[in-house]
Amino acid sequence: MADPRRFDVVIVGAGIAGASLAVALSGAGLRIALVEAQPLGERTLPQGTNLGDFDPRVSALTPRSSEFLQQLGAWEAIAQYRHCAYHHMTVWDAEGTGQIEFDRAEVGATELGHIVENRAIVHALLARVNRATDISVLSPAVLQSCTRLASSGMSLELEGGECLEADLLVAADGAMSRVREMMGFTCREWDYGHRAIVATVEVERPHERTAWQRFMPSGPLALLPLPGSEDHHYCSIVWSLQEDKVDAVLALDDAAFCAELERASEARLGAILASSRRYAHPLRQRHAVDYVQPGVALVADAAHTIHPLAGQGINLGLQDVAVLAEEITAGRRSGVRPGQLELLRRYQRRRKGENLVMMSAMDGFKRLFEQQSLPLRWLRNVGMRQIDTLPPIKRQLMRHAMGLG
């Protein structure tokens, strides 16, 4: 009989990345464990549409991500819950007249993407996990230490003393990954000196299924459309601000915060009528130099965190998951262990370049819009207006952002 504490793959972290990897590997003839620090008991999703009922963390999922979640059998449940397909995107420069419009018609798509609450994605994935007979869920369980075995594979200890062994340990434990730290992965990282304020707000005018984004020297502001009703229009905001400005904005009462946000959004959606509680997330860009070691792989935020300005973080993470699952299942068919370094290096080769390109582009955008010098501002505005009139270039940009090109 197999040792109940020995697994082929142990995934640490049951966020979107970890839970989707467990589902993607299920059925491949592997023994899988999913270790999560938070309790994962039966939870129901809130059905109300009061501001406080929305998860302040939402993701703009690209069509490529939705398709992957569909392959995992999770999309139907996500789509049945409240979400908002967006058809249009308006990006404008606070310092001039530059503006670009992106519309689904330009790429012949039914939508540019979907705004989905993060907890709805995790909920749908965990429902799949709970139905699988080859995934053991350990929760609440915190990984405390991990060491490489002399033979092959990894030895793991959970808080409380429980021990596990894994041929492959996957770090899906997020931006502050303990696995990455404990296994000594080198990371290039820099602080943007920004924090992102997230909240759900009610706006006066319909959002027209448009994702609105205004670039200011102090950082970008995004208003992402959420489902509402004929009389109530909601958006999720991601407002990235310089560190020294954040505390003052967080300290504002509801009315003053709404007034400040209305100014920052140039009242494009009319008055900001109400806001939920505000949360702030520090923004750092991180990229692990290597994603793999023998018996260990980093995925999603554990491998890279990116500025949220283009909403690409988990979209890149889901592609890591898809590729790693593909390599592990192909290896399984040809008798290669999941923790074998060559197999893991193939995963790294296929993902690192694409992640790097997106991260560099987002970093460049952010820096460009921070520039205050007149010639640069002029160039930026002319550039935006030019691109707006060049359909082939716009199409290419859109296809890339949608994960299609």
Ligand X SMILES: Cc1cc2nc3c(=O)[nH]c(=O)nc-3n(C[C@H](O)[C@H](O)[C@H](O)COP(=O)(O)OP(=O)(O)OC[C@H]3O[C@@H](n4cnc5c(N)ncnc54)[C@H](O)[C@@H]3O)c2cc1C
Interface residues with ligand X (CB under 6 A) are: 12-18, 35-38, 59-60, 142-143, 172-174, 178, 196, 198, 238, 281, 300-301, 308, 311-315, 317
CB closer to ligand X out of 159 and 204: 159
Give the span between the Cα atoms of 148 and 126, in whole angstroms. Answer: 29
Smallest separation (angstroms) from ligand X to the CB of 59: 4
Q: At which residue do the structure tokens 């994935």 appear?
A: 125
At 60 the three-state DSSP class reads: strand
| Nearest position to ligand X, beta carbon | 15
CB closer to ligand X out of 128 and 377: 128
CB closer to ligand X out of 168 and 380: 168
Pull the structure tokens for residue 117.
């609450």
CB closer to ligand X out of 22 and 60: 60
CB closer to ligand X out of 281 and 345: 281
CA atoms within 13 A of residue 11's CA, in its CB half-sphere: 30
CB closer to ligand X out of 315 and 355: 315
Q: Is 140 exposed, middle or buried (0-12, 13-18, 19+ CB in 10 A)?
A: middle
CB closer to ligand X out of 142 and 252: 142
Per-residue b or e along 108-124, where b marks 16 or more CB atoms closer than 10 Å to that residue's CB: ebeebbbbbbebbbbbb
Smallest separation (angstroms) from ligand X to the CB of 174: 3
Smallest separation (angstroms) from ligand X to the CB of 196: 4
At 2 the three-state DSSP class reads: coil
Smallest separation (angstroms) from ligand X to the CB of 103: 19
The answer to whether 31 and 2 have CB atoms below 8 angstroms apart is: yes
Smallest separation (angstroms) from ligand X to the CB of 137: 12
DSSP 280-346: EEEEEEEEES-SEETTEEE-GGGTEE--GGGS-HHHHHHHHHHHHHHHHHHHHHTT--TT-HHHHHH
Nearest Cα neighbor of 23 from 85, 60, 78 is 78
Q: Is 317 exposed, middle or buried (0-12, 13-18, 19+ CB in 10 A)?
A: buried
In the chain, the amino acid numbered 16 is: I
* Beta bridge partner(s), residue 158: 143
Pull the structure tokens for residue 341.
């370094």
Nearest Cα neighbor of 121 from 46, 69, 62, 162 is 69
CB closer to ligand X out of 164 and 384: 164
Give the span between the Cα atoms of 193 and 127, in whole angstroms. Answer: 38
Smallest separation (angstroms) from ligand X to the CB of 154: 14
Smallest separation (angstroms) from ligand X to the CB of 363: 15
CB closer to ligand X out of 12 and 269: 12
